[in-house]
């Protein structure tokens, strides 16, 4: 996308009112074409193309009709994940199991109907009541409700009463988003489907997801009718089928000893408990290539803390689950072994060795079905030997199996620890193939945060703006030292969302004042009663009742507003978190970068009198670095100041 000259009089090809400022390339029915768009429509497209949840509700409602394909394709390019699979599309770029991939045709139609209902009722976003309103017309949902003696018509009438239609301005029409409550309900529906043993997410699972969501109007209404998640699950099994019979016995594990000291990443991926992996497709492909080799097929991920080494392994687990790996890696379990758990509790000589031998016997017997992953790989050197050189530690126990190719092992460690512990043992080092994991750039971090936005919004029940995501990446890169991207940017967004969420749960000042007035009226009434001043007590009883009604009215109004509104994480929230972590004033963080750079000489001259040449050289070097005209792996500049002492 390229910015164009606004002096030309050409109008936006979408709104046909504002002047065009950007040129974008879109795909329409398989054909590529160029459009001139204004700043407002360009910002809307950029903000919307990053959410896979919104694509489930029909792209035409979240932008111009002819840009639906553009939003799908643009999201796939920017995040590495795919929108719901369509005919002729390759899933090779996908790095996570998406809800849209297992969504049934009926469920897709319901979500799109919910989006249309949101527009018709004047909503700014698709909320839980819109999804419930659309579900009430579905045959499967009606069968479940009829078993519970509930009329779908009554349910819809209650929604009409509790959430009446609103008038929207003409400029807002068609611009709707997806509320965090609906995103949380979709994730809950996905989990319910897996727990019931179903291979799809249908209308019945969406209904369970709405019941699991505690804050939406739909969840509140379902609870009023007594529709708990447990009751809906029981009726779903009876109506849809015995996908997961109650009381079924889980199959006995083939690796009981390994299960004691590990966690199965492929099982977690199947349950939807792993976060999506964004922007690491190349590293995952490299790991897959190494695992598929005949010899030296043990990759070790080397990188600084927080750059995403463990996330790459989780992405591999999701690839294995999706079947996007070579034939020899399919149906394998990717298991993360905890070295600390393996060593813990071994008090007597031989106890640790016996534990390791049992574990390795299980792994050797099922080598065709297992891939081990050890985070902090350097801890296997010396573990179990009391720290003595040449002792029988885990590394020495693993060496024979690694040499014979009986063990597929993935390791992760930092460069310093690899050089300190692994490289000095040549017999161990030659068994591994290093994979360097570099720190992502600010632009790549922004893409990662956009891909994780839905997960954070569903967890915290807030909306995270695109500006906040950009600010988190840029400000954390600039001001937080000693940590690496994307970990520090993710932490900032997570903490900012948690803070906004907690801020929305505290009662407003007017309710606190009403409560204080009620307590004061109660104290005065009780005092008048003790004095047996009956006339005064009667007046205070009336005052107390009025204060009680006033407080109840304000509490009900606040509850309705809190249930229907969505808290937003904005740039100021991100700046406050970074200011707290670094001590840099918020005003400095939120000031326009361009303005600060232009005033750099004046700022320096406030402390340095004269020395114009040196000040100009420093300011120019900083401006060039901020403009991106430098290698980010090198320093901004090297200055050598010459002159007499004391100048």
Q: What is the pLDDT of residues 597-609, one digit of tens each?
A: 777 888 888 888 8
The count of other CB atoms within 10 Å of the CB of residue 419 is 14
Residue 50: predicted pLDDT:
45
**Are 277 and 132 within one domain?**
no
Q: What is the pLDDT of residue 374?
A: 95
- Of 417, 436, 455, the residue that ends a domain is 436
Could you tell me if 354 and 452 lie in one domain? no
φ, ψ (nearest 5 deg) of residue 187: -65, -40
User: Do residues 473 and 449 make contact, with C-beta atoms less than 8 angstroms apart?
Assistant: yes
Q: Which residue has the tokens 């126990």?
A: 397
What 3-state class would DSSP assign to 203?
A: helix
Looking at the structure, do residues 392 and 309 belong to the same domain, yes or no?
Answer: yes
Domain count, the chain: 5
**Residue 123 sits in which domain range?**
105-165+175-240
Question: Which pLDDT score is estimated for 83?
Answer: 36
Assess contact for 217 and 163: CB atoms under 8 A. Answer: yes
Parallel/antiparallel/unpaired status of strands 31-37 and 433-436: unpaired
CB-based burial label for 522 (10 Å; 0-12, 13-18, 19+) = middle
431 shares a domain with 369: yes
Q: pLDDT digits over 380-402, tens only? A: 887 655 544 444 578 888 888 88
What is d(CA 593, CA 625) in angstroms, rounded to the nearest whole number? 13
Q: Quote the distance between the C-alpha of residue 51 and its chain's center.
A: 11
| pLDDT tens by residue, 136-155 | 999 999 999 988 889 999 99
Burial label, 459 (beta-carbon count in 10 A; 0-12, 13-18, 19+): middle
How far is Cα 390 from Cα 595, in angstroms, rounded to an integer?
A: 61
- Residue 640: pLDDT band with limits 50, 70, 90: confident
Q: Choose one of 586, 610, 626: the last residue of a domain.
A: 586
Is residue 631 domain-shared with residue 578, that is, in the same domain? no
- Under a CB-based contact definition with an 8 Å cutoff, are residues 243 and 233 in contact? no
β-strand pairing of 262-264 with 333-337: antiparallel
456 and 559 Cβ atoms separated by less than 8 Å = no
How does pLDDT run across 298-325, given as a tens digit for each residue? 999 999 999 999 999 999 999 998 888 9
* H-state helical runs in 337-481: 339-343, 351-365, 394-404, 415-417, 426-429, 442-460, 466-479
| Within a domain: 362 | yes
Q: Report the residue count for the chain.
A: 647
3-state secondary structure of 448: helix
The two three-digit tokens of residue 134, written as one number? 């659309």
Q: Residue 478: give its domain's CATH number.
A: 1.10.8.60
Report the C-alpha gap between 443 and 485 in whole angstroms.
11
One domain, residues 288 and 372: yes
CA angle, corner 288, sides to 284 and 291, nearest 5? 140
The enclosing H or E element of 71 equals: helix 68-79
Whichever domain contains 222, its CATH number is 1.10.1780.10
Same domain assignment for residues 477 and 430: no
Contacts (Cβ under 8 Å, ≥6 apart) of 156: 133, 136
DSSP track, 285-329: HHHHHHHTSSSS--EEEE--TTSSHHHHHHHHHHHHHHT-S-GGG
Q: Do residues 431 and 458 both lie within one domain?
A: no
Of 60, 49, 207, 59, give the one whose Cα is nearest residue 128.
207
Please indicate, yes or no, whether residues 453 and 431 belong to a single structural domain of this protein. Answer: no
Task: Identify whether residues 218 and 284 lie together within a single domain.
Answer: no
432 phi/psi in degrees, rounded to 5: -110, 150
**End residue of a domain, out of 240, 269, 287:** 240
Q: Which residue has the higher pLDDT, 523 or 76?
A: 523
Say what the pLDDT of residue 9 is.
Answer: 58
* Res 105: pLDDT: 87
Lowest mean pLDDT across 23-37, 192-206, 364-378? 23-37
pLDDT greater than 80 at residue 68: no
Burial (CB count within 10 angstroms: exposed 0-12, middle 13-18, buried 19+), residue 276? buried
Among the ranges given (42-46, 82-86, 618-622, 633-637), the one the predictor scored with the smallest mean pLDDT: 82-86
């Amino acid at each position: 996308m390229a910015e164009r000259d606004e002096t030309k009089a050409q109008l936006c090809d979408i709104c046909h009112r504002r002047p065009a400022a950007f040129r974008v390339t879109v795909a329409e029915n398989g054909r590529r074409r160029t459009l001139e768009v204004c700043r407002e429509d360009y910002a809307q497209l950029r903000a919307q193309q990053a959410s896979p949840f919104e694509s489930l509700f029909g792209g035409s409602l979240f932008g111009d009709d002819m840009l639906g394909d553009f939003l799908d394709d643009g999201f796939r390019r920017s995040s590495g994940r795919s929108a719901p699979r369509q005919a002729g599309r390759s899933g090779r770029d996908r790095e996570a199991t998406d809800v849209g991939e297992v969504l049934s045709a009926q469920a897709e139609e319901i979500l799109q109907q919910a989006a249309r209902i949101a527009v018709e009722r004047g909503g700014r976003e698709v909320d839980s009541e819109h999804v419930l309103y659309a579900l009430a017309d579905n045959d499967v949902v009606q069968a479940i409700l009829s078993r519970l003696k509930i009329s779908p018509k009554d349910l819809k009438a209650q929604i009409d009463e509790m959430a009446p239609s609103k008038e929207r301005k003409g400029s807002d029409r068609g611009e709707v988003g997806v509320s965090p409550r609906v995103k949380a309900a979709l994730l809950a529906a996905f989990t319910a489907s897996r727990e019931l043993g179903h291979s799809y997410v249908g209308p019945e699972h969406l209904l369970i997801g709405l019941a699991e969501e505690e804050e939406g109007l739909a969840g509140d209404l379902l609870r009023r009718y007594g529709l708990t998640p447990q009751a809906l699950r029981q009726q779903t099994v009876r109506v849809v089928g015995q996908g997961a019979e109650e009381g079924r016995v889980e199959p006995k594990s083939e690796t009981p000893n390994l299960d004691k000291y590990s966690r199965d990443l492929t099982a977690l991926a199947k349950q939807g408990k792993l976060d999506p992996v964004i922007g690491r497709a190349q590293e995952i492909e490299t790991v897959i290539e190494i695992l598929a080799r005949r010899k030296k097929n043990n990759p070790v991920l080397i990188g600084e803390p927080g750059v995403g080494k463990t996330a790459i392994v989780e992405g591999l687990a999701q690839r294995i689950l999706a079947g996007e790996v070579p034939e020899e890696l399919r149906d394998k379990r990717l298991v993360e072994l905890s070295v600390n758990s393996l060593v813990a509790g071994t008090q007597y000589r031989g106890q640790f060795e016996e534990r390791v031998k049992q574990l390795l016997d299980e792994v050797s017997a099922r080598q065709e079905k297992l891939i081990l992953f050890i985070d902090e790989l350097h801890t296997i050197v010396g573990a179990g030997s009391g720290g003595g050189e040449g002792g029988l530690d885990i590394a020495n126990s693993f060496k024979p199996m690694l040499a014979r190719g009986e063990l597929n092992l993935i390791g992760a460690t930092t460069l310093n620890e690899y050089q300190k512990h692994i490289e000095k043992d040549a017999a161990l080092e030659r068994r591994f193939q290093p994979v360097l994991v570099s720190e992502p750039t600010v632009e790549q971090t922004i893409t990662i945060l956009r891909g994780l936005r839905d997960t954070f919004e569903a967890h915290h029940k807030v909306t995270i703006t695109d500006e906040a995501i950009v600010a988190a990446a840029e400000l954390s890169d600039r001001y937080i030292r000693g940590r690496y991207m994307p970990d520090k940017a993710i932490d900032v967004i997570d903490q900012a969302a948690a803070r906004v969420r907690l801020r929305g749960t505290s009662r407003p000042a007017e309710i606190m004042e009403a409560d204080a007035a009620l307590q004061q009226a109660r104290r005065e009434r009780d005092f008048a009663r003790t004095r047996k001043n009956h006339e005064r007590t009667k007046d205070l009883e009336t005052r107390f009742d009025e204060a009680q009604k006033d407080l109840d009215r304000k509490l009900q109004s606040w509850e309705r507003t809190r249930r229907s509104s969505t808290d937003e994480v904005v740039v100021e929230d991100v700046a406050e978190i970074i200011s707290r972590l670094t001590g840099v004033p918020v005003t400095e963080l939120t000031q326009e970068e361009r303005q600060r750079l232009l005033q750099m000489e004046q700022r320096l001259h406030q402390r340095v009198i004269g020395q114009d040449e040196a000040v100009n050289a420093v300011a120019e070097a900083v401006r060039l670095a901020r403009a991106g005209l430098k290698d980010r792996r090198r320093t901004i500049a090297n200055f050598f100041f010459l002159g007499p002492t004391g100048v």
